[in-house]
Amino acid sequence: MAVPVCVDVAALPFAEGAFDAVMAMHMLYHVEDIPAGVRELRRVLRDDGTLLVSTNSVTSEREFMDLLMACGLKELPVQDARFSSENGGELLAEAFTDVRFFEERSKFVVPDPGPVVNTVQSMRYSLEAHLASSVTWEDFLFRVADAAQDVVDRHGALVTQSLSGVFVCR
Ligand SMILES: C[S@@+](CC[C@H](N)C(=O)[O-])C[C@H]1O[C@@H](n2cnc3c(N)ncnc32)[C@H](O)[C@@H]1O
Protein backbone atom coordinates (compact mmCIF):
# COMPACT_ATOMS: atom_id res chain seq x y z
CA MET A 1 0.00 0.00 0.00
CA ALA A 2 1.31 3.49 -0.84
CA VAL A 3 1.90 5.68 2.20
CA PRO A 4 2.11 9.46 1.56
CA VAL A 5 5.01 11.27 3.23
CA CYS A 6 5.82 14.98 3.26
CA VAL A 7 9.59 15.51 3.12
CA ASP A 8 12.27 17.83 1.80
CA VAL A 9 13.55 16.66 -1.60
CA ALA A 10 17.06 17.55 -0.46
CA ALA A 11 16.89 14.94 2.35
CA LEU A 12 14.76 12.02 1.17
CA PRO A 13 14.20 9.27 3.77
CA PHE A 14 14.57 6.48 1.21
CA ALA A 15 17.32 4.00 0.46
CA GLU A 16 19.61 4.30 -2.55
CA GLY A 17 18.00 2.84 -5.65
CA ALA A 18 14.60 2.49 -3.97
CA PHE A 19 12.55 3.57 -7.02
CA ASP A 20 12.21 2.63 -10.70
CA ALA A 21 10.83 6.08 -11.51
CA VAL A 22 10.47 9.42 -9.76
CA MET A 23 8.51 12.54 -10.73
CA ALA A 24 9.30 16.10 -9.63
CA MET A 25 6.56 18.17 -11.24
CA HIS A 26 6.75 21.95 -11.12
CA MET A 27 8.53 22.01 -7.79
CA LEU A 28 12.32 22.22 -8.11
CA TYR A 29 12.20 26.03 -8.53
CA HIS A 30 10.87 26.23 -4.93
CA VAL A 31 13.75 24.25 -3.44
CA GLU A 32 16.42 26.16 -1.55
CA ASP A 33 19.35 23.95 -2.57
CA ILE A 34 18.42 22.73 -6.08
CA PRO A 35 21.67 20.79 -6.74
CA ALA A 36 21.16 18.90 -3.44
CA GLY A 37 17.60 18.06 -4.48
CA VAL A 38 18.76 16.80 -7.86
CA ARG A 39 21.44 14.63 -6.21
CA GLU A 40 18.83 13.12 -3.88
CA LEU A 41 16.48 12.36 -6.79
CA ARG A 42 19.37 10.53 -8.48
CA ARG A 43 20.33 8.68 -5.31
CA VAL A 44 16.89 7.18 -4.67
CA LEU A 45 16.55 5.97 -8.29
CA ARG A 46 17.79 2.63 -9.54
CA ASP A 47 20.81 2.93 -11.86
CA ASP A 48 18.53 2.38 -14.86
CA GLY A 49 15.62 4.37 -13.38
CA THR A 50 13.95 7.42 -14.90
CA LEU A 51 13.30 10.86 -13.44
CA LEU A 52 10.61 13.12 -14.93
CA VAL A 53 10.84 16.81 -14.08
CA SER A 54 8.41 19.44 -15.33
CA THR A 55 8.86 23.20 -15.23
CA ASN A 56 8.03 26.45 -17.03
CA SER A 57 9.93 28.59 -19.47
CA VAL A 58 10.92 32.03 -18.18
CA THR A 59 9.00 33.39 -21.18
CA SER A 60 5.76 31.56 -20.29
CA GLU A 61 2.52 33.55 -20.00
CA ARG A 62 4.21 36.74 -21.16
CA GLU A 63 0.87 38.44 -22.00
CA PHE A 64 -0.40 37.79 -18.46
CA MET A 65 2.88 39.04 -16.97
CA ASP A 66 2.69 42.19 -19.16
CA LEU A 67 -0.79 42.86 -17.75
CA LEU A 68 0.57 42.54 -14.19
CA MET A 69 3.46 44.87 -14.99
CA ALA A 70 1.00 47.46 -16.33
CA CYS A 71 -0.95 47.24 -13.04
CA GLY A 72 1.89 48.12 -10.68
CA LEU A 73 4.29 45.19 -10.54
CA LYS A 74 7.74 46.72 -10.82
CA GLU A 75 9.59 43.51 -11.69
CA LEU A 76 8.76 39.87 -12.31
CA PRO A 77 9.35 37.39 -9.47
CA VAL A 78 12.41 35.28 -10.22
CA GLN A 79 11.24 32.09 -8.52
CA ASP A 80 10.45 30.11 -11.69
CA ALA A 81 13.72 31.24 -13.25
CA ARG A 82 15.68 29.31 -10.59
CA PHE A 83 14.76 26.07 -12.37
CA SER A 84 13.28 26.69 -15.82
CA SER A 85 13.08 25.11 -19.27
CA GLU A 86 16.14 27.20 -20.10
CA ASN A 87 18.50 26.27 -17.24
CA GLY A 88 16.98 23.00 -15.94
CA GLY A 89 18.97 20.76 -18.30
CA GLU A 90 22.26 22.08 -17.00
CA LEU A 91 21.23 21.56 -13.36
CA LEU A 92 20.02 18.00 -14.03
CA ALA A 93 23.14 17.10 -16.02
CA GLU A 94 25.13 17.42 -12.79
CA ALA A 95 23.62 14.08 -11.68
CA PHE A 96 22.19 12.45 -14.85
CA THR A 97 24.08 11.40 -17.97
CA ASP A 98 21.11 11.51 -20.36
CA VAL A 99 18.78 14.52 -20.08
CA ARG A 100 16.17 15.19 -22.79
CA PHE A 101 13.65 18.02 -22.88
CA PHE A 102 10.14 17.73 -24.33
CA GLU A 103 8.52 21.13 -24.81
CA GLU A 104 4.81 21.73 -24.29
CA ARG A 105 3.21 24.79 -25.92
CA SER A 106 -0.35 25.67 -25.14
CA LYS A 107 -2.43 28.75 -24.48
CA PHE A 108 -4.91 29.90 -21.90
CA VAL A 109 -7.98 31.67 -23.27
CA VAL A 110 -9.77 33.37 -20.36
CA PRO A 111 -13.04 35.07 -21.39
CA ASP A 112 -13.88 36.27 -17.86
CA PRO A 113 -11.82 38.58 -15.59
CA GLY A 114 -12.80 36.58 -12.46
CA PRO A 115 -10.31 33.71 -12.92
CA VAL A 116 -7.57 36.22 -13.76
CA VAL A 117 -8.11 38.01 -10.44
CA ASN A 118 -8.36 34.71 -8.54
CA THR A 119 -5.09 33.52 -10.08
CA VAL A 120 -3.35 36.74 -9.06
CA GLN A 121 -4.80 36.45 -5.55
CA SER A 122 -3.35 32.92 -5.29
CA MET A 123 0.09 34.30 -6.28
CA ARG A 124 0.16 36.94 -3.53
CA TYR A 125 3.00 35.14 -1.70
CA SER A 126 5.33 35.69 -4.65
CA LEU A 127 4.00 38.95 -6.14
CA GLU A 128 3.39 41.32 -3.24
CA ALA A 129 7.08 41.99 -2.54
CA HIS A 130 7.51 43.11 -6.16
CA LEU A 131 4.82 45.83 -6.21
CA ALA A 132 5.84 49.43 -6.79
CA SER A 133 6.08 51.15 -3.38
CA SER A 134 3.03 53.37 -4.00
CA VAL A 135 0.75 50.38 -4.81
CA THR A 136 -0.99 48.34 -2.11
CA TRP A 137 -2.05 44.74 -2.69
CA GLU A 138 -5.72 45.84 -2.74
CA ASP A 139 -4.98 48.62 -5.31
CA PHE A 140 -3.14 46.08 -7.42
CA LEU A 141 -6.08 43.64 -7.40
CA PHE A 142 -8.51 46.43 -8.42
CA ARG A 143 -6.19 47.42 -11.25
CA VAL A 144 -5.87 43.80 -12.42
CA ALA A 145 -9.67 43.40 -12.40
CA ASP A 146 -10.09 46.60 -14.48
CA ALA A 147 -7.31 45.71 -16.90
CA ALA A 148 -8.60 42.14 -17.38
CA GLN A 149 -12.14 43.47 -17.98
CA ASP A 150 -10.75 45.92 -20.53
CA VAL A 151 -8.91 43.15 -22.43
CA VAL A 152 -12.04 40.95 -22.39
CA ASP A 153 -14.20 43.87 -23.63
CA ARG A 154 -11.80 44.66 -26.46
CA HIS A 155 -10.66 41.15 -27.51
CA GLY A 156 -13.25 38.75 -26.10
CA ALA A 157 -10.67 37.03 -23.85
CA LEU A 158 -7.25 37.32 -22.28
CA VAL A 159 -5.06 34.98 -24.31
CA THR A 160 -1.69 34.00 -22.89
CA GLN A 161 0.83 31.54 -24.30
CA SER A 162 2.00 28.85 -21.89
CA LEU A 163 5.46 27.41 -22.44
CA SER A 164 6.55 24.52 -20.27
CA GLY A 165 7.99 21.06 -20.66
CA VAL A 166 9.28 17.86 -19.15
CA PHE A 167 12.88 16.73 -18.71
CA VAL A 168 13.33 12.98 -18.99
CA CYS A 169 16.51 12.02 -17.14
CA ARG A 170 18.38 8.73 -16.94
C1 LIG B 1 3.63 24.43 -7.75
S2 LIG B 1 3.40 23.13 -6.56
C3 LIG B 1 3.36 21.73 -7.62
C4 LIG B 1 2.55 20.64 -7.04
C5 LIG B 1 2.38 19.39 -7.91
N6 LIG B 1 3.66 18.71 -8.09
C7 LIG B 1 1.79 19.72 -9.24
O8 LIG B 1 2.46 19.59 -10.27
O9 LIG B 1 0.63 20.16 -9.27
C10 LIG B 1 4.99 23.05 -5.80
C11 LIG B 1 5.18 21.95 -4.80
O12 LIG B 1 6.54 21.92 -4.40
C13 LIG B 1 6.59 21.44 -3.07
N14 LIG B 1 7.90 21.78 -2.49
C15 LIG B 1 8.42 23.00 -2.28
N16 LIG B 1 9.64 22.91 -1.72
C17 LIG B 1 9.91 21.57 -1.56
C18 LIG B 1 11.00 20.84 -1.04
N19 LIG B 1 12.10 21.44 -0.55
N20 LIG B 1 10.92 19.49 -1.04
C21 LIG B 1 9.83 18.86 -1.53
N22 LIG B 1 8.76 19.52 -2.05
C23 LIG B 1 8.79 20.85 -2.05
C24 LIG B 1 5.42 22.14 -2.41
O25 LIG B 1 5.02 21.45 -1.25
C26 LIG B 1 4.37 22.10 -3.51
O27 LIG B 1 3.55 20.96 -3.37
Give the domain ranges of the chain: 19-169
pLDDT of res. 96: 98
Strand, coil or helix: 48: strand
Distance, in Å, from the CA atom of 2 to the CA atom of 41, rounded to the nearest integer, reads 19
Number of H helices, E strands in the chain: 6, 4
Residue of 30, 83, 119 best suited for mutating to test ligand 1, as the one with most atoms within 8 Å of CB: 30
**In terms of CATH, what superfamily is 19-169?**
Vaccinia Virus protein VP39 (3.40.50.150)
Residue of 6, 23, 27, 39 best suited for mutating to test ligand 1, as the one with most atoms within 8 Å of CB: 27
Q: Which pTM value belongs to this model?
A: 0.89
The count of C-alpha atoms lying within 13 angstroms of the C-alpha of 149, restricted to the half-sphere facing its C-beta, is 7
What confidence tens digit (pLDDT) does each residue in 15-50 have? 999 999 999 999 999 999 999 999 999 999 999 999
What confidence tens digit (pLDDT) does each residue in 43-87 have? 999 999 999 999 999 999 999 999 999 999 999 887 778 999 999
